[in-house]
Amino acid sequence: MEDVYWQKVAIFLDKSHRETHLELSELRIEDKKIAFLRDCLRDGSRFMQDENGNWHLRFFTHTELEQKIYVRFVNANNPSNLEIELDKYRFSRDFKPLTQLLFVRRRNNSPVDESLVLNASLILKGSATGIRLADLYETEYHCGYLDGRGELFISNHSPVGNFQRHVLLHALAQAYIQAMDLIKERLKPSLVGQGDRQRLRAVYQDFVRFNANYFFMQPVKYSSPVMRTVWQRIDEKYRVCAENHEMFEKIQSVHFLLELENSEKESAYREKAEKKMNLLNISVAGLGVLIAFSTWLISYFSSK
């Protein structure tokens, strides 16, 4: 029995500004606006799609950490045809994808077997042994596989909309990771002893402001419990929250070291200044003694 629908998704960091040359419309999933993300996160984002169905996403807009994400969808009715379609992009100018996903919708509750998983593994991982049937997890509406490099989503009855919500959460996770990488780059001078308190304070303030406005350990609303579970699974594999926590501790540690170094410098400066003052006091005292002695001599010889 032929598979009904295969879709390969690649998520890229958009450095080509391709959206400026396309006619875009607001992204809608199942003809609905994106409503499962927290309001302040959604308000600080821009979700658009082009006429080919590809997505152009912006996260953390109007900030120095703004991330532009391009999501490319390639569809076919079976794995062989999907490979043919993917060959068209083999020599494209797109950068290496940040992560990839594969959606497979089966017909009439047909079972998931080794053959399907083998084909999926070849497309998603480029290897027949990358994913095995025993590696799949199961939920009420799909079975799949997830690791730090992507996701396999297999369903007999689930609409594409559920998978698309997974894609959006993967894009958000990558946006978080890319934003934190920018902060790491700004932090590097301090890590090698070339930073200063003013620069580190600016990094710290930007990081705290970013976390306060946009970073959530759970970015999905309470009203979407299924997608909250999906985010937990994605976060576990990408270590988004763990990376954020580690970065916070690293910034605090560097800040402490800089404060300690500056404290030692200030202490050394004060010690040096005190030595100079002591020498000056001794010199003044010596000069006073000399003047007094000279005055005595003058007085003594005058009395003769």
| Domains of the chain by residue range | 5-159, 170-259
- CB neighbours of residue 245 within 10 Å: 12
For position 112, what pLDDT does the model report?
86
Strands (E), the chain: 5-13, 25-26, 46-49, 55-59, 67-76, 99-105, 137-138, 143-147, 150-155
Displacement of CA 238 from its chain's centroid (Å): 10
**SS3 label, residue 154:** strand
Q: For residue 81, what are its two tokens?
A: 């045809």
Predicted confidence at residue 214, as pLDDT, reads 95
Q: Is the pTM of this model over 0.75?
A: yes
**Nearest to residue 73, comparing CAs of 5, 11, 146?**
11
- Residue 135 in contact with residue 152, Cβ under 8 Å? no
- Strand pairing category for 46-49 and 25-26: antiparallel
- Please, are residues 262 and 197 in contact by the beta-carbon 8 Å criterion? yes
Distance (Å, whole) CA 71 – CA 11:
5
Cross-strand partners of 138: 143
Whether 262 contacts 190, CB under 8 Å:
no
C-beta of residue 123 within 8 angstroms of C-beta of residue 103 = no
* 135 exposure class (CB count in 10 Å sphere: 0-12, 13-18, 19+): middle
Longest Cα separation, the chain: 134
Given this model, what pLDDT does residue 1 score? 42
Query: Is 113 exposed, middle or buried, given 0-12, 13-18 or 19+ CB atoms closer than 10 A?
Result: exposed
Left (φ > 0), alpha (ψ -120 to 50) or beta: where does 180 sit? alpha
Q: Tokens 């609905």 — which residue?
A: 32
Q: What is the pLDDT along the chain (304 residues), one digit of tens a residue?
A: 445 789 999 999 987 766 666 789 999 999 999 999 999 999 999 999 999 999 999 999 989 899 999 999 999 988 999 999 988 887 666 678 999 999 998 877 677 888 899 999 999 998 888 899 999 999 888 899 999 989 999 987 767 899 999 999 999 999 999 999 999 888 876 555 555 677 777 888 888 899 999 999 999 999 999 999 999 999 999 999 999 999 888 887 776 766 656 555 555 555 665 566 656 556 656 666 666 656 666 675 666 5
115 — phi, psi (to 5°)?
-65, -45
